[in-house]
Amino acid sequence: MLGKLSIFKIQNYSLNLVMISICICIIGCSKKPEKETYNGYIQYVDPMIGTDAHAHTFPGATTPFGMVQLSPSNDLKGWDWNSGYHYTDSILKGFAHSHISGAGLTALGDFLLMPTVGSVKIKDGTEEDPDSGFRSRFSHDREEASAGYYSVILDDYDVKVELTASPRVGFHRYTYNQAGKGNIIIDASHQLGEYLYGSGIEFISDNEIKGYKRSNGAAGVRNVYFYAQFSKKFKEKGIAINDIIIPATTSADDKKVKAFVSFDVEAGEQVDVKVAISYVSYEGAKANFDAEAKTKSFDKALVEAQKVWEQKMNKFPIETESVSDLRSFYTAVYRTMISPNLISDVTGEYIVEGKKYHSDFEQYSNFSTWDTYRAQNPLMALVEQEKVVDFVNSLTSRYTDAKVGLPVWECIGFDNVCMIGHNTVSVMADAIVKDLPGIDVESAYIAMRDAAFELDKHSGPYGENGMEYYIEMDFVPASIGMSVSKTTEYNYFDWCIAEVAKKLHKQEDLKLFQKRSKGYRNSFDKETGYLLPLTETGKLLEMDMTQWEGLVKNYISGNIWGYSSYVPHDMGYLMKLHGGKKNFANWLDGVFTDSTKISGGQHVDISGFIGKYGHGDEPSNHMSYLYTFAGEPWKTQKLVREIMPKFYRDVPDGLDNNDDLGQMAAWYVFSSLGFYPVCPGSNQYQIGSPAFKKAGLVLENGKEFVVVAKNNSRENVFIQSATLNGEVYTKPYITYNQIISGGELVLEMGNQPNKTWANSDNDLSGMVGMKADVDYNLYINRMVSIPYTTDKELCFAQSKKVNLYCNTEGAIIRYTLDGSAPDINSKVYNAPLILNNETTIKAKAFKEGLEASRTFEATYMKGIMYNPKTKLPKIEVSQKGLGYGNPNGVQLIDGVLGSNSFGDGFWTGINEEDMEVEIDFGSERWIKKVRPGFLVDTGQWIFNPDEIIVQVSSDNKEFREVGRVKTNTPSKNLNKRYIERPNISFSPELCRYVKFTFKNKSIPNWHVGSGKNHWIFIDEILVQ
Ligand SMILES: [Ca+2]
Ligand SMILES: [Ca+2]
């Protein structure tokens, strides 16, 4: 079993003795069903870890990186049921074939099967009354989960369910403990948080069925197909459409299609079902079945699944007396190898964004890379290099074949742009700098470079990407949400691209991306050491550290503390900005001990606090290792040994937050081994403090890298001295080449820090980014800042005086009023502009020796404004249901316009109904034109009204229609965000009242909310 692990032979022998006594304890303590225990490391894998609290893992059966994750489904009761299952539940509806491990988003849940007995119930029933449908009660006492295996006894039916999987096939075994009528319900329409378009099932013989589902959600509009074969011939069978059984029917294609099959069963009789899936076609599902399941029994599939997991575990031989640590460690290893997931059929066919392609290598998706680039991908780049090549080539092919560019968060071939930035470039660069064979580096580079100029991929939760500003300024300005997070992450991604450009001798690109990687330097606040939001006009915004409000607007989860230190590629310069290593270490101390109370709503993901360090989400994952750069590695050693037992406990609620497709698990695996990649792409791993006496990495080249920690214990967490392959070692990091060559790092541990180990300038000098390059010109020293006005009101009644300003001293503002682009020859601004009509002002500022500013542009519009003295016009907004903004409607005539962020406070919104607005001028006047402004933000279900009707009246009784226009329905793009201000003109009307009806019809077909009504958001209604 452990033949490859020569150096561990002796230790494993003694370890096995430990294991035997552990097994007795496990069986004795937890009343699990009797079952032969698999002997190797996988006995420590407990997929139940993380199924409680907010970790969002699933307990079901899967193979490493497989297409199928066969796992129980409860009702989807909220965020914590994202994986289909939550440990607090006691009722389940069946077993579905696709799930995501640890995600913050809800998705998949394809094809649910459920064994029952007695008369067939085709409805799934209700939580309050499980007997009203086929769902069943269950208890954790009669449930078991291990690598590649899950079983549970359904209390309502006395049926034992066992599940295992091959990459593309789910294997079910149902043992009917009582004789009688046994049934299996097949729900083709089952989904997790998806909008269902339709589903279908067809009986193709007396023991085979096939089916499909079409849905829309986190994986986009997609089809999924199945082919299922049963070990027993059906005695009865039937099809139900929308929960009504249709007599004498053997196929159906409708919205919600289910089927049932029934047999006479003896007590203890087993019925096996093998379900192959495909994201491409029925033919694909059948081909997957033929290749992986045709001649394979449940038992054989189980042995194979366990064997492949054991092979993965064998890459990490460790030695410890703590069973709890063994369980935490091997379960973490398991979670790092669930995703990315296979999406291509055995035929090589796969789907990206709805279109079919063919691939010569295995295609993967479920790239939650904003999470996983930090540790999960780097871990795979050490131990799963062949797979990593497939991952990188899959990503490259999104650019070369599917031509959709690199994804931000790709779920089953669909980019849902859930997080931020061109984050996959880190994964690709980390593999490329390792020279992994089989990567087309030139093509990969073109895809990476293209992604760094992506203007249109805006995040659903985190708004505009700000790339148009970033390309010119190397930072995302404060006007864009989460600007500091975007700036620092883009900077690091650009450094990754620069590393590949260097390798490919692309000198110009190297210079460009190195420059772009330093933009965060503009945001450094000397007073506080924080990176603060920076406006386009060159001002740092102060943050109120007692309120979450401003913090969550400008930073993602890990927030100001995580992001102010998130320059893993440029630590030397960051420390220089702080005034040196010591000052930076003090600043870090401050974060880890900061106990300031902050009020208001914090981000859902920031958690796992030590001071203001939040281990629960990715943006802080690097922080405990930063002391190694600052010359105080003992503080890293102490912290990582505090974090590991605190936030990784071997119980269902033992994880602190979303495991995020193995990222949080990978932090633990690396940290347990004793090192962590602070800067993926650098080929360096910062040394922490290993959790074990001995831990190894068995590499695909047959070599082994071993970390021995002598005298290691819960108290002896400090490194006293080190040797690498017998030579004294004093650097606070190890390199990829040292690991991949095999060898032994021996650490002498003690209970007091050795403050002289691994912190001399010489030992630190080779660390990534330590050279503190000064070759960077700050924005304010390079470019004139953009002209601006302080006007909130861009609308006026008669005339308007407009002042323009520029924060660059001595700059000259030049402007145009005719819509043309301003240049060095345009009119010089030297006095306020007086506007009498609708006007677009464009302005640019110039100063010798500096680049010209970006162009300021604002359109001032004319209309009847609210006058606070006369309190006219009066306005009334109909609102039956849910509303947004000030319900009195006065924001609609205050002259203030909204930005394209619905939450900016300037929008009035109404949900799922027509919006009716009536304006009373107080006396009759002539009007000839109206101009309402709408926000479209399809990701937030905000659409323009389908039709606008304008009516006028003199007496508020008799109204006559003067205008009616239809708008264009937004085209398919879940991240589309824009403002529309249609002009509605008519021949002049004398009237006192104007009534607007903004029609709310149903959301278009392509959208996840299809069929429902939407939000209507209006910022201003101009009347002329
Ligand atoms: Ca997270
Ligand atoms: Ca307004």
662 alpha carbon, closest ligand: 1
What is the average per-residue pLDDT within 987-1010? 89
Output the CA 377–ligand 2 centroid distance in Å: 47
Going from the Cα of 1017 to the center of ligand 1, the distance in angstroms, rounded, reads: 31
**Ligand closest in space to the Cα of 56:** 1
Q: How confident is the model over 927-938, as pLDDT tens digits?
A: 999 999 999 988
**How far apart are the CA of 906 and the centre of ligand 2, in A?**
6
In tens, the pLDDT along 847-860 reads 999 999 999 999 99
| Nearest bound ligand to the CA of residue 886 | 2
Per-residue model confidence (pLDDT) at position 493: 98
Report the pLDDT averaged over residues 220-233.
97
For position 921, which CATH number holds? 2.60.120.260
User: Poorest-confidence range of 111-120, 703-712, 964-973?
Assistant: 964-973
The pLDDT assigned to 35 comes to 44
> Does a structural domain hold residue 704?
yes
Task: Say which ligand is closest to the CA of 620.
Answer: 1
- Assigned domain for 164 exists: yes
Percent of the chain with pLDDT over 90: 85
Q: Residue 33 has what pLDDT?
A: 38
- CB contact at 8 A, 115 and 178: no
Q: What is the pLDDT of residues 793-813, one digit of tens each?
A: 888 988 999 999 999 999 999
Which residue from 787, 803, 795, 805 is spatially nearest to 856, judged by alpha carbons?
A: 787
The ligand placed nearest to the CA atom of residue 661 is: 1
Q: Which amino acid is at 155?
A: D
What confidence score (pLDDT) does residue 1 get? Answer: 28
Amino acid identity at 174 = Y
Going from the Cα of 81 to the center of ligand 1, the distance in angstroms, rounded, reads: 16
Note the pLDDT tens digit of each residue in 401-431: 999 999 999 999 999 999 999 999 999 999 9
**Mean pLDDT in residue range 386-415:** 97
Instruction: Please indicate, yes or no, if residue 24 is contained in any of the structural domains.
Output: no
What's the rounded mean pLDDT across residues 54-60? 97
- Say if residues 687 and 675 touch (Cβ distance below 8 Å): yes
**Residue 35 within a domain:** no
Distance from residue 94's CA to the centre of ligand 1 (Å)? 28
Segment 360-387 shows an average pLDDT of 98
**Which tokens hold the place of 176?**
């009917």
Final residue of a domain: which of 731, 765, 799? 765
Whole-number Å distance, alpha carbon 68 to ligand 1 midpoint, is 23
What pLDDT, on the 0 to 100 scale, is given for residue 13?
Answer: 29
- From the list 203, 211, 209, 213, the residue with the least C-alpha distance to 248 is 203
- Domain boundary residue, one of 811, 833, 862: 862
What integer pLDDT is reported at residue 911 of this predicted model?
A: 87
Quick one: tokens of 546?
């007692």
C-alpha 898 to ligand 2 mean position (Å): 7
Phi–psi pair at 349, nearest 5 degrees: -85, 145
Distance 557 CA to ligand 1 centre (A): 8
Residue 671 to residue 269: CA distance in whole angstroms: 47
456 CA distance to ligand 1 middle (Å): 24
Classify the phi-psi angles of 271: left when phi > 0, otherwise alpha if psi is within -120 to 50, otherwise beta. beta
**Dihedral sign of CA atoms 434, 435, 436, 439 in order:** positive
852 Cβ neighbours under 8 A, 6+ residues apart: 783, 784, 824, 844, 845, 846
- Rounded Cα distance, 948 and 1021, in Å: 12
The pLDDT, as a whole number, for residue 888 is: 83
pLDDT for 496 equals: 98
Last residue of a domain, one of 715, 735, 765: 765
Ligand 1 centroid vs 506 CA: distance in angstroms?
Answer: 35
Same domain, 436 and 496: yes
Tell me the ligand closest to 908's alpha carbon.
2
DSSP 3-state assignment of 790?
Answer: coil
For 273, the 3-state DSSP assignment is: strand
Say what percent of the chain tops pLDDT 70.
96
Q: Residue 499: is it exposed, middle or buried by C-beta count within 10 angstroms (0-12/13-18/19+)? A: buried
Q: Do residues 269 and 396 both lie within one domain?
A: no
Dist. CA 1014 → ligand 1 center (Å): 29
Return the CATH number at 135: 2.70.98.10
More confident residue, 17 or 495: 495
Question: Is the domain of 391 the same as that of 472?
Answer: yes
Per the CB < 8 A criterion, the answer to whether 712 and 749 are in contact is: yes
Cα of 135 to ligand 2 centre, how many Å? 51
Give the ligand at the shortest distance from the Cα of 865: 2
- 603 CA distance to ligand 1 middle (Å): 11
Output the CA 621–ligand 2 centroid distance in Å.
42
Query: How far, in Å, from the CA of 265 to the mean position of ligand 2?
Result: 70
In a domain, 333, yes or no: no
The answer to whether residues 430 and 572 belong to one domain is yes
Ligand nearest to the CA of 795: 2
Mean pLDDT over 941-969 rounds to 93
Ligand 2 center–CA 890 separation, angstroms: 8
180-187 and 195-203 as β-strands: parallel, antiparallel, unpaired?
A: unpaired
Q: How far is the centre of ligand 1, averaged over its atoms, from the C-alpha of 723 (Å)? A: 36
Number of domains in the chain: 4
Q: For residues 95 and 218, state if they share a domain.
A: yes
CB 192 within 8 A of CB 277: no
The reported pLDDT for the residue numbered 137 is 98
Task: Measure 478 CA to ligand 2 centroid, in angstroms.
Answer: 22
Q: Measuring CA to CA, how many Å separate 807 from each of 188, 784, 810, 812? A: 62, 8, 9, 11
Distances (CA, A) of 414 to 107, 368, 442, 939: 12, 12, 24, 15
How remote is the CA of residue 944 from the centroid of ligand 2, in Å? 16
Residues 854 and 978 in one domain: no
pLDDT score, position 27: 34
pLDDT score of 366 more than 60: yes
Inform me whether the pLDDT recorded for 474 exceeds 70.
Answer: yes
d(CA 840, CA 838): 7
pLDDT in tens, 434-459: 999 999 999 999 999 999 999 989 88
| Residue 288 CA, ligand 1 centroid: distance in Å | 33
pLDDT at 793: 84
How close is the Cα of 445 to the center of ligand 1, in Å?
28
Asked if 844 and 900 sit in the same domain, the reply is no
CATH code of 812's domain: 2.60.40.10
Q: Are residues 854 and 927 in the same domain?
A: no
In a domain, 326, yes or no: no
Using the structure block, give the residue that is written with the tokens 């006028």: 952
Give the helix/strand (H/E) hosting 499. helix 483-503
Predicted confidence band at 975 (pLDDT cuts at 50, 70, 90)? low
Q: Are residues 202 and 350 in the same domain?
A: no
CA of 452 from ligand 1 middle (Å) equals 23
Torsion of CA 559, 571, 425, 664, to 10 degrees: -50
Q: How far is the CA of 615 from the centre of ligand 1 (A)?
A: 9
Task: Tell me the pTM.
Answer: 0.90
Give the ligand at the shortest distance from the Cα of 368: 1
Joined together, the tokens standing for residue 737 give 């080449």
Gap from CA of 218 to ligand 2 centroid (Å): 34
Per-residue pLDDT, 38: 58
> 885 falls in which pLDDT band (50, 70, 90)?
confident
For residue 837, the CA-to-ligand 2 centroid distance in Å is 19
Residue 496 lies in a domain: yes
Q: Which ligand is nearest to the CA of 899?
A: 2
Following DSSP, what letter does each residue of 195-255 receive, concatenated?
EEEEEEEEE-SSSEEEEEEEEEETTEEEEEEEEEEESS--SEEEEEETTEEETT-SEEEES
Coil, helix or strand at residue 278: strand
Helix or strand holding residue 670 (H, E): helix 663-673
Per-residue pLDDT at 964 exceeds 80: yes
Q: Are the CB atoms for 758 and 748 separated by under 8 Å?
A: no
Q: 856 has which bridge partners?
A: 843
Q: Which ligand is nearest to the CA of 898?
A: 2
**Strand extents, DSSP E, 340-429:** 341-342, 349-352, 355-358, 364-365, 410-411, 414-415
Residue 789 structural domain: 783-862
| CA 977 – ligand 2 centroid, Å | 18
- The three-state secondary structure class of 175 is strand
- Ligand located closest to 603 CA: 1
What's the confidence (pLDDT) of residue 1004?
87
- Beta-strand pair 795-796/856-862: parallel
DSSP, res 716: -
The pLDDT value given to residue 34: 40
- For the ranges 628-637, 722-731, 784-793, the lowest mean pLDDT is seen at 784-793
Q: Which ligand is nearest to the CA of 371?
A: 1
Q: Quote the ligand 1 centre to 529 CA distance (angstroms).
A: 25
CA distance 170 to 333: 22
686 with 798, same domain? no
Q: What's the CA-to-centroid distance between 558 and ligand 1, angstroms?
A: 9
> Please, what sign has the CA dihedral across residues 604, 341, 163, 256?
positive
Stretch (H or E) spanning 14: helix 9-30
pLDDT-derived band at 262, boundaries 50, 70, 90:
very high
* pLDDT one-digit tens code per residue, 562-605: 999 999 999 999 999 999 999 999 999 999 999 999 999 888 78
SS3 of 869-899: the string is CCCECEEEECCCCCEECCCCCHHHHCCECCC
Residue holding tokens 């930090």? 374
Q: Is the pLDDT of residue 4 over 60?
A: no
Q: Tell whether 805 and 945 lie within a shared domain.
A: no
620 Cα: distance to centroid of ligand 1 (angstroms): 10
Distance (angstroms) between ligand 1 centre and the Cα of 187 equals: 31
Rg of the chain over Cα atoms, rounded to whole angstroms, equals: 31
Ligand nearest to the CA of residue 892, numbered in listed order: 2
CA of 304 to the centre of ligand 1 (A): 32
Which ligand sits nearest to residue 616's alpha carbon?
1
CATH number at residue 742: 3.30.2080.10
- Cα(1018) to ligand 2 centroid in Å equals 8
Q: Return the ligand number nearest the Cα of 1020.
A: 2
794 C-alpha to ligand 2 centroid (Å): 9
Kindly state the helix (H) or strand (E) to which residue 842 belongs, with its residue range: strand 839-846
In whole angstroms, give the CA distance from residue 617 to residue 599.
20
Compare 216 and 270 and report the one with higher pLDDT.
270
Does residue 11 sit within a domain?
no
- Average pLDDT (193-212) is 96
Cα 664 to averaged position of ligand 1 atoms, centre (Å): 8
Are residue 596 and residue 564 in the same domain, yes or no? yes
Find the 711 Cα to ligand 1 centroid distance in Å: 34
**What confidence score (pLDDT) does residue 97 get?**
98
* Residues belonging to the chain: 1024
